[in-house]
Structures are given as structure tokens and as C-alpha cells.
């Protein structure tokens, strides 16, 4: 745990918040599938002297002097990312996953062009074309959905029909709340049929791909993959754009990231990415990625055994989506609040074709990346799943809820957040 000695002396108010967050993370369980714990090495890089340096441009082609060490850092990050995902090109400067998607769109499209992406209500992401985003004022987004939310099967026949009708320039795979693997071959087939780029937003499963626990879209012919560098990849909060083997596409992406959309890269963050990529290249990371899946299946079993409906009837990746309103009569917002009080952090989430409002939906979304980082196995994951169900079933029993909170604290002490993964 960082002692924050300088902040403590200089800014006690911020210190109090940091100290509070350190304790919250240590004494509670993180089940938000897009969150994780990073190593102290990643934290040190992110808080390093590189935060002082402007490095507009790319290695060997900067606009400012004094770039000897920044060039070393960014080159290492690029080479490690390429090795990790077995591809020809990587841009490590994007500030987040949304930024990566925006840069990718502007690199590959002209205003008014069409993108075929997953509907948000069926598991997609805001940047895949939700009307609340500004992107929809620039590009035309059409959507595909699951054929049956109980199986998770995408309606590929309908997807092909929409693609032929709308002529998208990008066929976009990827998701934010979809618990299954996609049929990558089908996506590439549809993209080729209409002359579109095949792009995959791997933000949620980047670590599973890097750890070889699930398939890589590049092995099926995808042109580009965008990603965050946190979530299952267990790095700092940031973005990443990968190009399989097309130098022309890679050049367009680099030019769009800088100078097209961003200024100077955050070199401290890029150093932290490089450290995390190196951690993910170690054999232990593959064991970690496989355990994420095992732990998710253990949680799946407990929820199903308790009669809780899971969207797609379970999971093939790191996350689960439960219809708690339909199964237990508790809203997603109420469940999120109660579980937070018990020391279990997750997020409310809409389910497919939800009739409730997004801020108080029918479902909750949770996953296993962070608890797996704490060395949880199937046994502890099942224990946590049962405690979650118990909280929701006993929402008015204050004595029961207090006992569960203590059980969570005990579990957290037994499995502290590791400082190193190598």
C-alpha cells in the first residue's frame, strides 16, 4: 500500500480520500468486470517523472527535444503490445477505450459512413453507436442484436441482411455486457461480403486474449482491434489500437491519434502500459486468464442453482449479467446499493430489451478479473456468489447483512491485494 507521504503533508484532504480508497479496495471485493488491481510496478510507472515530459509525435519523430528515454519507453510498449497480440502494428498513445474507438472511426471512415455494431441493450458499448453519443451526428450506425437472449446467439442471418442493405464501411464486433464468445469467422465473412473493415473492440477480453484463454479475432482475419489497457489486461487506465498486418491502415490510425485528435501523449501512462504488457507476457498471466474463466463458471452455477436468471444462460468469458428484478424482485439499483454496503462492488445494468430505465434497470453486471487477481479460486468465487444471493434475498434483515459484511472482511484479509504479479 502506498503511504502517500508527500500528499499527506501537503494536501490532507486529498490524502484522506486516497487513504479511504486504499481501505475500500482492501476491505471489499471488486466485481465490476471492467475493473482490476494493478501491480505496484504499474502504479510507480504511472506516477513517475515521465509525467513531466511532452512528447508530441512518435518515437524518432518528436516535435520537442529531450526524447531519449521517452522514445525508449514508447518503443518498448509498442513492441510488447505487438508480441502480446501477435500483430504487425500498435498505437499505445490513446487515452482510453472510447478514444481508441473514436480515432479508429475517423481513421477508417468519412462523415456519413455507416458502422454496423452491437445494440447497447443487447451488450454493446456507448461508442458502438448509441444515440446519446456525438458520434451518431457524424457517422451512421446500424445495429445487430441477439436472436435469443437466453442463448446469446447473434442473429447472423439478420446481420448479413442489414449489412447488405446498409453497406457499412466497418463491421464492428465487441461488447460491454455480453457474456459469450462471438463467432469471429461470421463477422469477417459478413465484412468481406460487403467490402467493409472487420474491427473488434476487445476492451473487455483483451487480457483473456493475451493470456490465450480465448481466441484472438486476428486469427480469423480481423483488420483492427481496439482496446482499453485495464480490465482483464490488468494495466493502467488507457487505450490501445492494434492493426493485424496492414501498414496503410496503421499509418492512418497513427495520424488520426496524433495530430488528428490528441496532443502530447501521457508518457507516464505509456510507461505503465509497457510494464503491464511485460507482466502479461509472463507464463503466470496465462494461468491467471484461465482462472478468470473458471471462477466465472463457479459463480454461474451458484446463481443458476438459486433460480436467478442469467442472460445467455451463463457465461463463456469473465462477466455475468443477472436479471435480479425478474428473479428476485429487486431492482439493479437496489441490488448495487445493498451489495456495496456489504462490501461487494458491482454495477447495475440493463438486460436485453429491458422495460426499466437505465438508471434503475432489471439487472446487475459482475465479473471475476479483480477477485482472480486476489488469488480466488472456484471455491471462493462460489462463496462470494452465494453471499451475493443471500444479500439480495435478505435485503430487510439487517442482522444477516451485517454478518455477511464481516464475512467479506474476513475473506479480504485472507486474500490481500498482491503488490506484484511476477
Contact between 228 and 203 under an 8 Å Cβ cutoff? The reply is: yes
Q: Name which of 258, 235, 236, 255 is nearest 247 in CA terms.
A: 255
Q: Per the residue annotation, which of 54, 147, 167, 186 is the catalytic one?
A: 54
Q: Is 201 a catalytic residue?
A: yes
Q: Report yes or no: 315 and 300 within 8 Å, Cβ to Cβ.
A: yes
Q: Which of 127, 228, 312, 373 is catalytic?
A: 228
Known catalytic residue at 231: yes
HSE at residue 42, side-chain half, CA atoms within 13 A, is 26
- Phi/psi at 197 (5° precision): -75, 140
- Are 116 and 170 within 8 A, CB to CB? yes
Of 80, 231, 252, 395, the catalytic one is: 231
228 is a catalytic site residue: yes
Point out the catalytic residue in the list 180, 234, 237, 252. Answer: 237
56, 354, 360, 378: which one is catalytic? 56
Q: Is 397 a catalytic residue?
A: no
* The residue to which cell 464475512 is assigned: 407
Nearest to 203 by CA among 305, 112, 118: 118
Q: Give the residue among 34, 16, 18 at the shortest CA–CA distance from 26.
A: 18
DSSP code of residue 257: I
Please enumerate in sequence order all residues whose Cβ is within 8 A of that of 383, keeping only pairs 6 or more positions apart, or say none.
411
Between CA 242 and CA 341 the distance in angstroms is 40
Residues 218, 87 contacting (CB under 8 angstroms): yes
Partners of 116 in the beta sheet?
Answer: 142, 171
Bridge partners, 367 (sequence order): 319
Determine which one of 30, 74, 119, 201 is catalytic: 201
Q: Are 163 and 114 in contact (CB under 8 A)?
A: no
Q: Residue 232 has which C-alpha cell?
A: 482483464
The residues assigned a catalytic role are: 54, 56, 201, 228, 231, 237
Amino acid at each position: 500500500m502506498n503511504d502517500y507521504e508527500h500528499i499527506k503533508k501537503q494536501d490532507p484532504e486529498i490524502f484522506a480520500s486516497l487513504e479511504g480508497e486504499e481501505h475500500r479496495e482492501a476491505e471489499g471485493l471488486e466485481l465490476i468486470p471492467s475493473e482490476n488491481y494493478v501491480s505496484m510496478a504499474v502504479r510507480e510507472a504511472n506516477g513517475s517523472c515521465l509525467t513531466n515530459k511532452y512528447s508530441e509525435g512518435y518515437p524518432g519523430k518528436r516535435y520537442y527535444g529531450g526524447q531519449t528515454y521517452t522514445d525508449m519507453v514508447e518503443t518498448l510498449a509498442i513492441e510488447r503490445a505487438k508480441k502480446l497480440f501477435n500483430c504487425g502494428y500498435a498505437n499505445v498513445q490513446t487515452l482510453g477505450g472510447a478514444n481508441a474507438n473514436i480515432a479508429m472511426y475517423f481513421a477508417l471512415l468519412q462523415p456519413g459512413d455507416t458502422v454496423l455494431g452491437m445494440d447497447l441493450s443487447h451488450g454493446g458499448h456507448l461508442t458502438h453507436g448509441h444515440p446519446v453519443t456525438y458520434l451518431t451526428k457524424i457517422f451512421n450506425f446500424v445495429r445487430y442484436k441477439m436472436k435469443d437472449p437466453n442463448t446469446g446467439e447473434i442473429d447472423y442471418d439478420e446481420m448479413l441482411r442489414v449489412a447488405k442493405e446498409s453497406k457499412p464501411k466497418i463491421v464492428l464486433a465487441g461488447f460491454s455486457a455480453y457474456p459469450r464468445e462471438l463467432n469471429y469467422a461470421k463477422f469477417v465473412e459478413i465484412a468481406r461480403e460487403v467490402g467493409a473493415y472487420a474491427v473488434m473492440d476487445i476492451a473487455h477480453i483483451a487480457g483473456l486474449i493475451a493470456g490465450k484463454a480465448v481466441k484472438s479475432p486476428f486469427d480469423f482475419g480481423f483488420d483492427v482491434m481496439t482496446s482499453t489497457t485495464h480490465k482483464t489486461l490488468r494495466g493502467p487506465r488507457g487505450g490501445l489500437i492494434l492493426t493485424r498486418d496492414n501498414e496503410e491502415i496503421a499509418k492512418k490510425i497513427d495520424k488520426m491519434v496524433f495530430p488528428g485528435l490528441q496532443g502530447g501523449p501521457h508518457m507516464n501512462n505509456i510507461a505503465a502500459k509497457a510494464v503491464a504488457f511485460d507482466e502479461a507476457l509472463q507464463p503466470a498471466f496465462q494461468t491467471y486468464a484461465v482462472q478468470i474463466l473458471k471462477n466465472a463458471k463457479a459463480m454461474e452455477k451458484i446463481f443458476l442453482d438459486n433460480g436467478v436468471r442469467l442472460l445467455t444462460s451463463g457465461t463463456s468469458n469473465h462477466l455475468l449479467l443477472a436479471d435480479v428484478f425478474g428473479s428476485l424482485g429487486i431492482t439493479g439499483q437496489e441490488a448495487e446499493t445493498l451489495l456495496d454496503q456489504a462490501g461487494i462492488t458491482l454495477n447495475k445494468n440493463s438486460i436485453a430489451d429491458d422495460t426499466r430505465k437505465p438508471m434503475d434497470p432489471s439487472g446487475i453486471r459482475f465479473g471475476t478479473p479483480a477477485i482472480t487477481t486476489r488469488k480466488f479460486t472456484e471455491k471462493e468465487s462460489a462463496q462470494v456468489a452465494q453471499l451475493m444471493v443471500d444479500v439480495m434475498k435478505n435485503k430487510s434483515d439487517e442482522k444477516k447483512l451485517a454478518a455477511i459484511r464481516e464475512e467479506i472482511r474476513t475473506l479480504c484479509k485472507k486474500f490481500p491485494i498482491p503488490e506484484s504479479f511476477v
